[in-house]
Chains A and B, each alone.
Chain A
Amino acid sequence: MTAQKTVKKLKVKMVSIYIMGKEYKVPEGLTIHKAMEYAGYKLVRGVGCRAGFCGACATVYRFKDDYRLYTGLACQTTVKDGMYLVILPFVPAKKPGYDIEKLKADFSSIVKLFPEVTRCVQCNTCTKVCPQEIQVMDAIQMILRGDIKSAAELSFDCIACGICSLRCPAEIIHYNLFQLVRRLNGKYLTPKSQHLVQRLKEIEEGKFDKELEKLVKMGPEKWKELYEQRVIE
Chain B
Amino acid sequence: MGYPGYPEEFWDSIEKVEATRERRLKEVFKRITPEEKEKLLEKWHPDYRPEGKRALKLGPNKGDYVPNEVADILEAYPLIDPNDIDLEDIDYDVDVLIIGGGGSGAAAALWTNYRGIKAENILIATKLRFGDANTKMAQGGIQAADRPQDSPPIHFIDVIGGGHYANKPELVRILVKEAPLIIKWHEELGVMYDKDEHGNFIEIHGGGTSRKRMHAAKDYTGLEIMRVLMDEVLNREIRVIEFSPAVELIMDTSGQVAGAVLYNLETNQYYVVRAKATVLTTGGFGRLHIQEFPTTNHYGATADGLVMGYRVGTHLRDMDSVQYHPTGAAFPEQIVGQLVTEKVRGLGAQLVNIDGEQFIYPLEPRDVVAAAIIRECYGRNKGIVTVTGQRGLWLDSPMIEIIHGEGTIKRYLAAMYRQFKRFDIDITKEPMLVFPTLHYMNGGIEINEYTQALNADGKPIPGLFAAGEVTGGVHGKNRLMGNSLLDINVFGRRGGINAAKHAKKAKVGKLTLKHVNNWVTKLKEAGIAPKRKAPIILPEYRGKRALSRSINIGF
Given A39-B543, A51-B335, are A228 and B418 also a contact pair (CB < 8 Å)?
A: no
Let me know if B137 and A54 touch, CB within 8 A: yes
B266 interfacial contact with A, CB 8 Å = yes
Residues 138-190 (chain B) with a chain A CB within 8 angstroms: 145-153, 156-158, 160-161, 165, 169-170, 172-173, 176-177, 180-181, 183-184, 187-190
Is B198 on the interface with A (CB-CB < 8 A)? Answer: yes
- Bound-state Cα–Cα, A10 to B390, Å: 14
Residue of A nearest to B421 (CB): A133
CB pair A186–B187 under 8 Å, yes or no, is yes
A-B contact count (CB 8 A): 255
Which residue of B has the minimal Cβ distance to A175? B227
Which residue of B is nearest A133, CB measured?
Answer: B418
Interface residues on B, range: 35 or more
Given A2-B46, A53-B415, also A215-B169 (CB < 8 A): yes
Per the bound structure, the CA–CA distance linking A1 and B292 in Å amounts to 11
**B190 touches which of A182, A217, A226 (Cβ 8 Å):** A182
Interface residues of B in 219-260 (CB under 8 A from A): 220, 222-224, 227-228, 231-232, 234-237, 243
B19 at interface, CB cutoff 8 A:
no
Chain A residues lying within 8 Å of B418, measured Cβ to Cβ, are: 52, 132-133, 157
Contact string against B for A residues 194-231, beta-carbon threshold 8 Å, 1 for contact and 0 otherwise = 11101110010000100110011110100110111011
Within 8 Å by CB of A226, from B157, B212, B237, B294, lies B157
A174: interface (CB < 8 Å): no
CB B545 to nearest CB in A, in angstroms, measures 8
Residue B269 interfacial (CB < 8 Å): no
Distance to closest chain B CB from A56 (angstroms): 5
A2 touches B292 (CB 8 A): yes
The answer to whether residues A34 and B173 also contact, given A100-B235, A203-B181, A215-B156 and a CB cut-off of 8 A, is: no
Docked-complex contact A220 and B189, CB < 8 angstroms:
no
A54–B298 CB distance below 8 A: yes
In the bound complex, what is the Cα–Cα distance between A31 and B158 (angstroms)?
40
Say yes or no: B189 contacts A95, CB within 8 Å. no
Known contacts: A44-B265, A185-B192, A199-B145. The answer to whether A53 contacts B137 by CB under 8 A is: yes
Q: A49-87 vs B: 1/0 string, CB under 8 Å?
A: 111111010000000000000000000101000000000
**Contact between chains at A53 and B136 (CB < 8 Å):** yes
Give the residue name and chain of the B residue nearest to A38 (CB). Answer: B543
Instruction: Tell me the bound Cα distance from A7 to B129 in angstroms.
Output: 35
CA distance A97 to B238 in the complex (A): 11
**Main SS class of interface, A:** loop
Q: Is the CB of A2 within 8 A of B291?
A: yes
| A216 in contact with B170 (CB, 8 Å) | yes
Interface residue from B44, B146, B292 paired with A199 (Cβ < 8 Å): B146
Judge whether B541 and A223 touch: CB under 8 Å.
Answer: no
**Residue among A180, A190, A192, A224 making CB contact with B192, cutoff 8 Å:** A190
Q: With the chains together, A218 CA to B153 CA distance in Å?
A: 12
Give chain A residues whose Cβ lies under 8 Å from the Cβ of B547: 40
The answer, yes or no, to whether B388 is at the interface (CB within 8 Å) is yes
Instruction: Tell me if B200 is interfacial: C-beta within 8 Å of chain A.
Output: yes
| Contact of B489 with A by CB under 8 A | no
Residues on B with beta carbons closer than 8 Å to the beta carbon of A233: 149-150, 205, 210-212
Task: Kindly state the separation between the CA atoms of A29 and B335 in the bound complex, as whole angstroms.
Answer: 11
**By CB atoms of chain A within 10 A, which of B129, B172, B210, B300 has the most?**
B129
Residues of B371-389 whose CB lies within 8 A of A:
374, 378, 387-389
Q: Could you tell me if B137 and A211 are in contact, using CB atoms closer than 8 angstroms?
A: no
Q: Would you call B388 and A185 a contact (CB within 8 A)?
A: no
* Pair B546/A95 contact, Cβ less than 8 Å: no
Q: How far is the CB of A42 from chain B (nearest CB, A)?
A: 6
- Chain B nearest CB from A221 CB (Å) reads 9
How far, in whole Å, are A22 and B273 apart by their CA atoms in the complex?
Answer: 39
Does B197 sit at the interface, judged by CB under 8 A?
A: yes
Q: Within 8 Å of chain A (Cβ to Cβ): is B108?
A: no
A194 touches which one: B157, B200, B205, B540 (CB < 8 A)? Answer: B200
Minimum distance in angstroms from B345 CB to a CB of chain A: 15
- List residues of chain A with CB within 8 A of the CB of B165: 220, 223-224, 227
Whether the Cβ atoms of B210 and A232 lie closer than 8 Å is: yes
Chain B 187-222 interface 0/1 with A at a Cβ cutoff of 8 Å (1 = within): 111111101011111000100001110000110101
Residues in chain B near residue A3, CB distance under 8 A: 291-294, 390, 435
CB proximity of B262 to chain A, nearest CB, Å:
15
Nearest residue, chain A, Cβ from B172: A216
- The verdict on A208 contacting B177 (CB below 8 Å), with A7-B389, A54-B131, A190-B199 known, is yes
Cross-chain contact B128 with A195 (CB below 8 angstroms): no
Indicate if the CB atoms of A223 and B161 lie closer than 8 Å: yes
Query: Contacts A132-B418, A199-B145, A208-B177; is A50 near B187 (CB within 8 Å)?
Result: no
A-B pairs with beta carbons under 8 Å apart, 17 shown: A3-B291, A8-B387, A38-B546, A40-B542, A42-B542, A48-B132, A48-B298, A95-B234, A186-B193, A192-B187, A195-B200, A203-B152, A216-B170, A223-B157, A223-B160, A228-B34, A232-B210
A residues whose Cβ falls under 8 Å from a Cβ of B: 1-8, 10, 29-31, 34, 37-45, 47-54, 56, 76, 78, 95, 97-100, 132-133, 152, 156-157, 159-160, 179-180, 182-188, 190-196, 198-200, 203, 208, 211-212, 215-218, 220, 223-224, 226-228, 230-233
Given A10-B387, A48-B299, A51-B338, 4 new contacts (CB under 8 A): A5-B388, A51-B137, A53-B223, A157-B414
* B residues apposed to A, CB below 8 Å: 34, 44, 46, 49, 128-129, 131-133, 136-137, 145-153, 156-158, 160-161, 165, 169-170, 172-173, 176-177, 180-181, 183-184, 187-193, 195, 197-201, 205, 210-212, 217-218, 220, 222-224, 227-228, 231-232, 234-237, 243, 265-266, 291-294, 296, 298-300, 333-335, 338-339, 374, 378, 387-390, 414-415, 418-419, 422, 435, 538, 540-543, 546-547, 550
